[in-house]
Amino acid sequence: QHGGWRRKTLIGDAKFETVANKEFQKQERRLSKADSFCAEEGFAPGLLPDAFPDDYLAFNVLVTLREGLISLAKVIRVFENGKIFITHIESRKSRSEKEQHQLFMQLVCPHSAYENVCSAAKQSPLIRDVTLLEEKEPEKKDHWIPLHISDLDRCTHLVTKFEPDLDYDHPGFADKEYRLRRKEIADIAFEYKYGQKIPTVEYTDEENATWQHVYVRLKELFPTHACKEHVEIFATLEEECGFSEHQIPQLEDVSNFLRTTYLHTYIDTYIHTYINFSTCISYCAPPFPRDCIHELLGHVPMLADPKFAQFAQELGLATLGVSDEDIEKFATLFWFTVEFGLCKENGQLRAYGAGSLSSYGELANCLSDNVTVKPFDPATTAVQEYKDDDLQPILFVVESFDDMMLKMRQYVASIERSFEVTYDPYTQSVKTLDHNAALEGVAKGLQNDVGTLMHVMNRFNKPV
């Protein structure tokens, strides 16, 4: 009834990664400071102690001494005589053989005196040099991104958010046979590697009965609730790929059909992601998740549509190399489009999101008066709170897939990242556009495509 929404969602996973990465960056910063002279984390340049007026400035300096620590008291007096307050001081042996010691000092002074601090201190015979310091940040490291479809083998394996092993409320918590079956299918998924034949799963009578229960109810709703792209491709899947209420299709059969019928290179990526990240939930009692139903009845028909598949592909590419905060926003956009999106069709609302299309409860709900429908705007949609423990109360509607694509491209163009990427369907790999040679390769590809297009257009326009 509710379908597969009670899963570990992309948004939840993105939020977890954001928190984890921030903690990692804190640890990196501590290590960076410990390796530098600014060893104490509690002090930072520009942080003005409460005891000073707002027109005072806090900053750090590194003072190189001529005569060693024996002159420390006199050096302190040099700064104090200049009406400069010392809030923190450390000493260390100099890294240079010529000088004996250096002082790290945190100072506070009026803005008017700031520019003369270094020059005034250097006039003292006790001080060889004074250097203004800025907080040392940890060295930026390149983020790893999957560049080839086989790299997905290295990505995180996700099962579900609602775990029978962990959640007492799960109906399978006390069902030892169910938990063993769940683990059996999960192990098949997790052990799969790119290039292998997708394993065959022998589904039980109970599992096929669950499939039939949902399949029949969804098929009744598709003509009046699903978008035309889904309706048309679903009919093709029934006619030519063996989709029926009687048994769960095998992923290898679906993959081969999509590859030979629709010629979409991205389908391999989709199927591979599914077998890695999903498990079939066999427990019959609704409203608990059935991931194979979600993927096969929700995602497969939509991803077989070229225009929608291109949108999903570009949305995925847009996440590569962006900040954790932007990843959360893109995950939210994925939720309200690919999972629970609505579109306009002949003046009527229709569902194109897989979360709705694979759940008869969600599908009936999404076009009801229980839902607040808002126009799709990426900047607004990206920060909308989502709900994964009940039927969706808020959904977003697009005017068309073309309009959705245009708005998303404009939004992506406003996001900062250190490099751009493009997808090469011939090698099933992502290319980073961070040097001239990469740009030249893309330009040549475009030039060839334009040349072919012009040749065909000229032939069509040639008089008979």
Which residues line the annotated binding site for Fe cation?
294, 299, 339
CB 274 within 8 Å of CB 199: no
For residues 48 and 56, give the distance between their C-alpha atoms in angstroms, rounded to a whole number.
8
Indicate if the alpha-carbon torsion angle 446, 448, 452, 455 is positive or negative.
positive
What DSSP state is assigned to residue 33? H
For residues 313 and 421, give the distance between their C-alpha atoms in angstroms, rounded to a whole number.
12
CB 409 within 8 Å of CB 432: no
Indicate if the alpha-carbon torsion angle 448, 449, 453, 459 is positive or negative.
positive
Q: Which residues are annotated as a binding site?
A: 294, 299, 339
What does the angle CA 276 – CA 162 – CA 294 come to, to the nearest 5 degrees? 55
CB 344 within 8 Å of CB 398: yes
Q: Could you confirm whether 339 is annotated as catalytic?
A: yes
How far apart, in Å, are the Cα atoms of 163 and each of 8, 295, 302?
10, 19, 28
Q: Give the active site residue among 339, 356, 359, 362.
A: 339
Give Rg (Cα) of the chain.
31
Q: Could you confirm whether 294 is annotated as catalytic?
A: yes
Of 55, 136, 70, the residue nearest 103 (C-alpha): 70
CB 373 within 8 Å of CB 395: yes
Per the omega criterion (within 30 degrees of 0), is the bond before 378 cis?
no
DSSP string, 217-241: HHHHHHHHHB-HHHHHHHHHHHHHS
Q: Give the active site residue among 124, 255, 356, 358.
A: 358
**Chain centroid offset of residue 336 CA:** 14
Of 189, 173, 209, the residue nearest 251 (C-alpha): 189
Instruction: Give the up-direction half-sphere exposure of residue 96: CA atoms within 13 A in the CB hemisphere.
Output: 11
The letter for the amino acid at 398 is V
**CB burial of residue 250 (10 Å; 0-12, 13-18, 19+):** middle
CB 315 within 8 Å of CB 338: yes
Q: Could you confirm whether 418 is annotated as catalytic?
A: no
CB count, 10 Å around CB of 270?
A: 21
Q: Give the active site residue among 294, 295, 328, 359.
A: 294
What DSSP state is assigned to residue 432? E
What does the angle CA 22 – CA 23 – CA 25 come to, to the nearest 5 degrees? 65
What tokens appear for 22 in the block?
Answer: 């921030």
- Which residues have a catalytic role annotated? 294, 299, 339, 358
